[in-house]
Amino acid sequence: MYLLNTDELSVFSNHKMTTDRDGFFYHKAILIDINQDGHMDILTARVKKPAIGKSVSNLVWLENPGGEEPY
């Protein structure tokens, strides 16, 4: 998963957030301090929809360990 920063139209950067999971795509990410440690974490949904068979979906929490905010 990559976090894309598009705060300004002329500035574009991305940050690698997770290892790749074959076939999954992420969407609806929000920044929230889930564990109330003062650092913004990411809460997102990921889905894998194969051509045949049932789709798989997960709610994913990416915890910010602290230090420099990557976003």
Domain ranges of the chain: 22-66
Output the pLDDT for position 62.
85
Mean pLDDT by 10 residues, the chain (71 residues): 55 60 78 90 86 87 75 51
What pTM was estimated for this model as a whole?
A: 0.60
The first and second tokens of residue 39, run together, are 């650092």
